[in-house]
Amino acid sequence: MSRSARLLALLQALRRRRRPVAAAALARELGVSLRTIYRDVATLTAQGAPIEGEAGLGYVLKSGFFLPPLMFDEDELDAIILGLRFVARRGDEALGAAAEDALAKIAAMLPPAKEDAARANGLLAGLNAKGDRPHLALVRQAIRAEKKLRLCYIDKNGRSSARVVWPVALGFFDAAEVLAAWCEARSDFRHFRLDRIVSAEPLGIPYPKRRRILLAEWRLQEDLADTF
């Protein structure tokens, strides 16, 4: 790997992470020595890259840094296409349309040979077995706006309850979509399957905490601290 390619790879490795990453982890990922990582970080910082941290504590790329678009390799292109097809099939109407538009934009920017390969890509995403998720769009909007929801929910034993929740994250799994939220009735994080939500009412009330903080607390509780 050339030095310029290694510097770009280091920037990409930092950009993928939201929290500081140890130099040792970066060295393993890029297949170089710790000394090389220290030297490359110093080079990138001198060239204006907003990298924070220091040896022994880890490094993080400050948010808002713009890295010019790079040409995707075949594996990266497969990952993007499969991910967007999954969203197009599993998201609500607005999210599905956005995924289709993103696919079209990406294909239009590719060289002709790669554009043909992208359109004929053999990786397909299927629907989940549960079909309709009528409250998916509303839950997404609540997460984005950081506003409370009132849910009428039926648990696995058929018991109905009313909950006021602070939506934190949505998980898409084989059997169902699951909402992670702070539940006021339980004073703790709880998980709600979207197919068991009978009704969802936006309350227009902001969370008492920022969602970013709630998300970090939920990740810690669920031992998901190292995930995105």
Question: Mapping DSSP to helix (H, G, I), strand (E, B) and coil, where does residue 189 land?
Answer: strand
Asked if residue 78 belongs to a domain, the reply is: yes
Q: Using CA atoms, how far apart are residues 32 and 107, in angstroms rounded to an integer?
A: 34
**Number of domains making up the chain:** 3
Phi, psi angles (nearest 5°) of residue 20: -55, 140
- Among 31, 28, 59, smallest CA distance to 43 is for 59
Residue 36: predicted pLDDT: 93
Residue 54: predicted pLDDT: 65
Asked if residue 46 belongs to a domain, the reply is: yes
Q: Using CA atoms, how far apart are residues 228 and 222, in angstroms rounded to an integer?
A: 13
Q: Is residue 138 a contact partner of residue 200, using CB atoms and an 8 Å limit?
A: yes
Residue carrying the six token digits 């043909």? 116
Tokens coding 135: 């409250």
Q: Which residues contact 121 (CB under 8 A, 6 or more apart)?
A: 77, 78, 81, 82
Q: Is residue 67 a contact partner of residue 15, using CB atoms and an 8 Å limit?
A: yes
pTM for this predicted structure? 0.61
Do 98 and 33 share a domain, yes or no?
no
Q: Out of 29, 61, 93, pick the residue that ends a domain.
A: 61
Range of the domain at 186: 136-221
- CATH code for position 180: 2.30.30.100
pLDDT in tens, the chain (228 residues): 678 778 888 988 888 887 889 999 999 999 999 999 999 999 988 888 888 886 667 899 887 666 555 567 777 788 888 888 888 877 788 888 888 888 887 777 776 766 666 665 666 666 655 555 678 889 999 999 999 999 999 999 999 999 999 999 988 887 788 999 999 999 999 999 999 999 999 999 999 999 989 998 998 998 876 555
* 121, HSE (Cβ side, Cα atoms, 13 Å): 21
Do 207 and 144 share a domain, yes or no?
yes
Tokens coding 74: 């075949």
Tokens coding 111: 């060289």
Do 103 and 153 share a domain, yes or no?
no
